[in-house]
């Protein structure tokens, strides 16, 4: 696959993206940017949320996970579904009833100003780091396919791609994201299904033979009940999935910003539940693709790369595969990447403008628009810098890096909301920032002791530990009303 083919594919997709952005953002204002005017039909949001939950990391990293973890990720996705039901039943009605632009406004009402700022700050850190890791994967692939062959340095790669994302999100905000996520969902599903088809055809499999080969392969094991100490143990993955979904969807301004674009809480609840169930089947497609990639490498005597994130691109651009597979790979990758990074920039802009600067309270509409656009530029620059730092500093596989970061940074947010919703105890507001800073450090210590002293491999349940430590700290800082 030539660099020119990749460039033309990206250019074609981006032209379509800009066209959709143009029509979706017509007549937009600050309300359109922040909430989509709360007029979006729930089926459209539900389909868009399939793509919203899938980033470039999912597209590249999840197929490669089958090498070391089989289909264990589906155990976590089952937990996601339960988490989505909890979000729909508990959080969505509260956020609509309080008519929140930023969901962290709940923390100010429940605890106080310091807690509100702490929750917003932890979201900012969480989303900036998580989105940067996700987008890093895409920049690395584009560096190998396009920028590297032309001798263009990685830094310019990041600048160019971030600039493109800023361009299509600067005006329309959430309303634009929902329509571009719809395009993304379609492109992702189409890309994965067609890649599976062409790989099966290359291997000489009929549909039935393909299903048999996948089910018989060692990598297709889904449930792991034998070793409670292992990171793939079912109950660890399932429970972590429940709380990870609540933290990274229900308590994440990025994801909830879309859900709050529906006209009322009942519509939003339908969207949440349907999109959660559909996500299971989409992730299953990615894992089936992973097994097909391994079968292809084995048949052709190609060594599986140590960094399993590289497997998909290695097969998609292999000389024995038709060019269409490489084009589908690039199409799915950039669809996932641009949308995920665009939504992150939009939510970061919203949270910083509303929560940190309190622009919706201080400025008139014209001034708020100017401030919002300046913040949008600043968020783009910061994300680019973080991506470059991660590129030179990290060697962990991307999907694990994302959830490891989330376990530390979303833990305090989950603890704050859980404590606020389930306990009526008042808390010393000024002490909350210290509690939320200490909780991840204590959680890291607990993880270290469990590993070194008991041989227990902590997986993504670290998020639960982190939240519980936060809640314990809030109890210690509680006071009588």
Q: In sequence order, what DSSP letters do the residues of 206-258 get, joined into one string?
A: -HHHHHHHHHHSGGG-----S-TTSTT-HHHHHHHHHHHHIIIIIT-HHHHHH
Q: What does the pLDDT read at residue 345? A: 79
Question: Which residue shows structure tokens 């999100």?
Answer: 169
Please name the residues in contact with 148: beta carbons below 8 A apart, sequence gap of 6 or more.
none
Q: What does the pLDDT read at residue 213? A: 92
Q: What six digits make up the tokens of 330?
A: 């690039």
Helix (H) or strand (E) holding 427: strand 426-427
CA distance readout (Å), 412 to 10, 333, 429, 450: 38, 32, 14, 21
Per the CB < 8 A criterion, the answer to whether 399 and 57 are in contact is: yes
Q: What does the pLDDT read at residue 26? A: 62
* H-state helical runs in 352-397: 359-362, 365-393
Q: Which fold has domain 3-421?
A: Sodium/glucose cotransporter (1.20.1730)
Q: What six digits make up the tokens of 437?
A: 């800073």
The vertex-222 CA angle with 221 and 224, nearest 5°, equals 90
- Measured CA to CA, the distance from residue 178 to residue 263 in angstroms comes to 14
Q: What does the pLDDT read at residue 480? A: 67
Q: How many CA atoms lie within 13 A of 406 on its CB side?
A: 27
Q: What is the DSSP letter of 149?
A: G
Per 3-state DSSP, what percentage of the chain is helix, strand, and coil (rounded to 5)?
80, 0, 20
Per the CB < 8 A criterion, the answer to whether 61 and 399 are in contact is: yes
Q: Say if pTM beats, i.e. exceeds, 0.85.
A: no
* Residue 479 φ/ψ, nearest 5 degrees: -150, 165
- Measured CA to CA, the distance from residue 336 to residue 429 in angstroms comes to 39
Rounded-to-10 torsion of CA 53, 54, 56, 62: 120
- Measured CA to CA, the distance from residue 13 to residue 7 in angstroms comes to 10
Please name the residues in contact with 199: beta carbons below 8 A apart, sequence gap of 6 or more.
289, 292, 293, 295, 296, 315, 321, 325
Instruction: Provide the β-strand partners of residue 478.
Output: 427
Q: Would you give per-residue pLDDT tens digits along the chain (481 residues)?
A: 677 777 888 788 778 777 777 776 665 555 555 555 566 677 777 777 776 666 666 777 788 888 888 899 899 999 999 999 999 998 888 888 887 767 888 888 889 989 988 988 888 887 787 777 777 777 877 787 778 888 888 888 888 888 877 776 665 556 666 777 777 778 778 888 888 999 999 889 999 999 999 999 988 899 999 888 777 888 888 988 898 888 878 887 777 777 777 778 888 888 888 888 888 998 999 999 999 999 999 888 888 887 777 788 888 888 888 888 888 888 877 777 676 677 777 778 877 888 788 777 787 778 888 888 888 888 888 888 888 887 777 555 555 566 677 778 888 998 999 999 888 888 999 999 999 999 999 999 998 898 888 888 776 678 889 999 999 999 999 876 5
Q: Is 29 helix (H, G, I), strand (E, B) or coil?
A: coil
The number of beta carbons lying within 10 Å of the beta carbon of residue 453 is: 8
Length of the chain: 481
Please name the residues in contact with 204: beta carbons below 8 A apart, sequence gap of 6 or more.
none
Give which of 348, 463, 352, 455 is closest to 411, Cα–Cα. 463
- Residue boundaries of the structural domains of the chain: 3-421
Q: What does the pLDDT read at residue 437? A: 93
Q: What does the pLDDT read at residue 71? A: 92
Give which of 441, 466, 437 is closest to 119, Cα–Cα. 437
Per the CB < 8 A criterion, the answer to whether 402 and 134 are in contact is: yes
Q: What does the pLDDT read at residue 7? A: 80
Q: What is the DSSP letter of 144?
A: I
Please name the residues in contact with 69: beta carbons below 8 A apart, sequence gap of 6 or more.
232
């Amino acid at each position: 696959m030539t660099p020119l083919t990749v460039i033309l594919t990206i250019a074609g997709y981006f032209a379509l993206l800009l066209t959709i952005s143009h029509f979706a953002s017509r007549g937009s204002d600050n309300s359109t940017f922040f909430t989509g005017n709360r007029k979006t039909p729930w089926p459209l949001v539900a389909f868009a949320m399939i793509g919203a939950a899938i980033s470039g990391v999912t597209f590249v990293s999840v197929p490669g996970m089958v090498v070391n973890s089989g289909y264990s990720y589906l155990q976590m996705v089952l937990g996601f579904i339960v988490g989505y039901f909890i979000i729909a039943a508990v959080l969505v009605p509260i956020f609509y009833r309080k008519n929140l632009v930023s969901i962290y406004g709940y923390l100010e009402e429940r605890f106080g100003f310091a807690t509100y700022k702490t929750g917003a700050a932890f979201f900012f850190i969480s989303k900036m780091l998580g989105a940067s890791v996700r987008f890093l994967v895409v920049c690395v692939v584009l560096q190998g396919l396009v920028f590297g062959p032309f001798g263009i340095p990685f830094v310019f790669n990041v600048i160019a791609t971030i600039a493109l994302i800023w361009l299509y999100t600067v005006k329309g905000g959430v309303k634009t994201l929902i329509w571009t996520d719809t395009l993304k969902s379609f492109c992702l599903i189409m890309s994965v299904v067609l890649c599976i088809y062409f790989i099966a055809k290359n291997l000489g499999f009929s549909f039935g033979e393909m299903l048999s080969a996948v089910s018989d392969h060692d990598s297709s094991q889904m449930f792991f009940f034998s070793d409670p100490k292992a990171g793939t143990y079912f109950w660890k993955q399932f429970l972590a999935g429940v709380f990870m979904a609540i933290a990274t969807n229900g308590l994440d301004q990025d994801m909830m910003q879309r859900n709050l674009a529906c006209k009322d809480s009942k519509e939003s609840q339908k969207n949440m539940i349907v999109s959660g169930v559909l996500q299971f089947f989409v992730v299953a497609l990615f894992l089936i693709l992973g097994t097909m990639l391994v079968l292809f490498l084995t048949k052709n005597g190609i060594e599986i790369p140590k960094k399993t994130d590289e497997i998909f691109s290695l097969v998609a651009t292999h000389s024995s595969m038709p060019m269409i597979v490489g084009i589908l790979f690039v199409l799915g990758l950039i669809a996932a990447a641009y949308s995920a990074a665009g939504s992150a920039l939009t939510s970061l802009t919203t949270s910083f403008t509303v929560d940190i600067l309190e622009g919706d309270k201080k400025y008139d509409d014209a001034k708020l628009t100017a401030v919002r656009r300046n913040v949008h530029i600043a968020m783009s620059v910061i994300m680019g810098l973080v991506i470059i730092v991660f590129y030179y500093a990290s060697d962990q596989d991307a999907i694990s890096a994302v959830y490891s970061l989330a376990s530390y940074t979303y833990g305090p947010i989950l603890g704050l909301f859980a404590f606020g919703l389930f306990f009526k105890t008042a808390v010393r507001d000024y002490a909350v920032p210290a509690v939320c800073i200490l909780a991840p450090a204590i959680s890291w210590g607990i993880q270290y002791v469990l590993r070194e002293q008991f041989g227990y491999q902590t997986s993504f349940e670290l998020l639960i530990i982190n939240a519980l430590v936060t809640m314990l700290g809030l109890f210690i800082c509680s006071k009588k009303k």
